[in-house]
């Protein structure tokens, strides 16, 4: 039996107000290897191991990218201590300017990452990957340092870290969404989108409409 490859894609568009459209899959990878869309929605309590697992991935990314990466940030729900989350890490690689993206794409390609474009959200390019079974599942993005999407990720993370009441409310919404829609990622995302938008407002952020 041939060795099965694992490929995980950046977050797919789930709610029109928050995400962009999905890019086409690379033709060189078989459909069954690329179809990693979440079928079973699982939200679990915060696990301190997530940060340790991020540090392992960060080390590999820094080794692959060298000076082209000016920072590697753990973002998303798994980056907020105490927040319930799906156990998939969100990671932003920060580059100095957009013109550095082709070099970042090439260096990431050499270590098994597949460029998927911006998925309809300018300022943030997504990457799938092959052969990372030794790492925790993760979504990888590359953002210029002045990207509004990168700013949004950091502001959202820092707000939740600093406001335990918002963190608890958001975690409960996510658990309820997963309980109601364990087999429907679109409905899961839709259910929690109002809470996300409320947090955006408190952070002074606008919704991500694909032109942010």
Least confident of 30-34, 106-110, 160-164: 30-34
Query: Looking at the predicted structure, is the pLDDT value of residue 28 above 70?
Result: no
DSSP 78-95: GGSTT--B-S-EEEEEEE
Averaged over 61-90, what is the pLDDT? 97
User: For the residues of 121-148, what is the DSSP string, one character each?
Assistant: -TT-EEEEEES-TTS--EEEEEEETT-H
Which phi and psi angles does 163 have, rounded to 5°? -130, 90
Closest Cα partner for 53 from 89, 85, 81?
89
The mean pLDDT of 39-56, rounded to a whole number, is 95
Express each pLDDT in 108-155 by its tens digit: 999 999 999 999 999 999 999 999 999 999 999 999 999 999 999 999
pTM for this predicted structure: 0.82
**Residue 103: its H or E element:** helix 101-110
Structural domains in the chain plus CATH codes: 7-203 (3.30.460.10)
Whole-number average pLDDT of the chain = 85
Check whether 83 has a pLDDT greater than 70: yes
Residue 127: beta bridge partners? 115, 140
Residue 207 — very low, low, confident or very high, per pLDDT cuts 50/70/90?
Answer: confident
């Amino acid at each position: 039996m041939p060795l099965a490859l694992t490929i995980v894609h950046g977050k797919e568009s789930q709610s029109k107000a928050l995400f962009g459209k999905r890019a086409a899959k690379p033709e060189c990878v078989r459909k069954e290897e690329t179809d990693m869309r979440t079928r079973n929605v699982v939200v679990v309590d915060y696990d301190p191991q997530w940060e340790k697992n991020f540090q392992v991935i960060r080390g590999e990314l820094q080794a692959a990218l060298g000076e082209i990466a000016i920072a590697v940030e753990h973002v998303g729900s798994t980056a907020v201590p105490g927040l319930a989350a799906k156990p998939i890490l969100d990671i932003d690689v920060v580059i100095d300017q957009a013109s550095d993206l082709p070099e970042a794409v090439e260096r990431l390609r050499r270590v098994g990452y597949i460029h998927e474009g911006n998925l309809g959200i300018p300022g943030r390019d997504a990457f799938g990957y092959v052969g990372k079974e030794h790492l925790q599942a993760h979504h990888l993005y590359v953002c210029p340092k002045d990207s509004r999407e990168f700013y949004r990720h950091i502001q959202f993370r820092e707000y939740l870290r600093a406001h335990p009441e918002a963190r608890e409310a958001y975690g409960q919404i996510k658990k309820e969404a997963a309980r109601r829609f364990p087999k429907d990622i679109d409905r899961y995302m839709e259910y929690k989108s109002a809470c996300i938008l409320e947090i955006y407002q408190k952070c002074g952020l606008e919704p991500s409409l694909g032109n942010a």
